[in-house]
A and B are shown apart, each in its own frame.
Chain A
């Protein structure tokens, strides 16, 4: 495996539920990412954290709330989701050289398959 783990692997929730996705990286990286992968669409970058600080939020609805307590852990808190939020949510990590663009590849977890009923 890639050194990035995600739990749970599958999640079914109602629109009124509150749940959280967890990601942990064991690679010593300093940047972590949340992506949304929907069928037939490019990967959508949702959030970026560098050194535990959120540096990007790509117009993600507030029903998605990220949390990065340290450089190894990343959470995505979910509440009052919509059926169109059903997708595969991927976490990734990389080693960045400061705030400028990094040449380093990202390492991905296996994803959480989310179904919103």
Chain B
């Protein structure tokens, strides 16, 4: 069985501050991990993925994520958040199929 959890429904940060969106996972084999973002009235957009290799993965729009095997986490980070980063963020894990977390709403205030 596989699952992914996003423990925070909402994250609020001020523009210019660091942004972290948390994700933990559970899979039986090697995890393939993804982050997607959804802006209002849009579909999901791919941000980044971890398959193998370096634990720190860099993606679109200045986002990065760190794979931590011992903590089974794959937190999404951005050093300096923008108001335009306000959106719904989904973590996903793939074993035999892609399973999504419930999503975290990020609000960046000016």
Interface positions of A (Cβ within 8 A of B): 2, 4, 6, 40-43, 45, 48, 56, 90, 92, 101-103, 105-111
5 cross-chain CB contacts under 8 A: A42-B100, A106-B44, A106-B98, A109-B43, A111-B42
- A56 to B98 Cα, complex, angstroms: 12
A107→B102 contact, CB < 8 A: no
| Inter-chain CB contacts under 8 Å: number | 50
- A116 to B49 Cα, complex, angstroms: 36
Partner of B97, one of A2, A56, A92, A105: A56
A103→B45 contact, CB < 8 A: no
Is the contact region of chain A dominated by helix, strand, or loop, or is it mixed? loop
| Residues of A contacting B32 in the complex (Cβ-Cβ under 8 angstroms) | 101, 103
A103→B51 contact, CB < 8 A: yes
Within 8 A of A (CB), among B36-76: 36, 41-46, 49, 51
- A16 to B91 Cα, complex, angstroms: 37
A110→B45 contact, CB < 8 A: no
Q: B78-103 vs A: 1/0 string, CB under 8 Å?
A: 00000000000010001111111111
| Residues of B contacting A48 in the complex (Cβ-Cβ under 8 angstroms) | 97
B41 to A: closest C-beta gap in Å: 7
- A102 to B49 Cα, complex, angstroms: 12
Q: Would A108 and B45 be within 8 Å (CB), given that A42-B103, A101-B32, A103-B51 are in contact?
A: yes
Partner of B100, one of A43, A101, A107, A111: A43
Q: Would A42 and B43 be within 8 Å (CB), given that A101-B95, A103-B51 are in contact?
A: no
B45→A2 contact, CB < 8 A: yes
Partner of A110, one of B43, B46, B95: B43
Is B25 part of the binding interface, using a Cβ–Cβ cutoff of 8 Å? no
A108→B102 contact, CB < 8 A: no
Partner of B44, one of A40, A90, A101: A90
A105→B102 contact, CB < 8 A: no
- A106 to B38 Cα, complex, angstroms: 13
- A106 to B97 Cα, complex, angstroms: 12
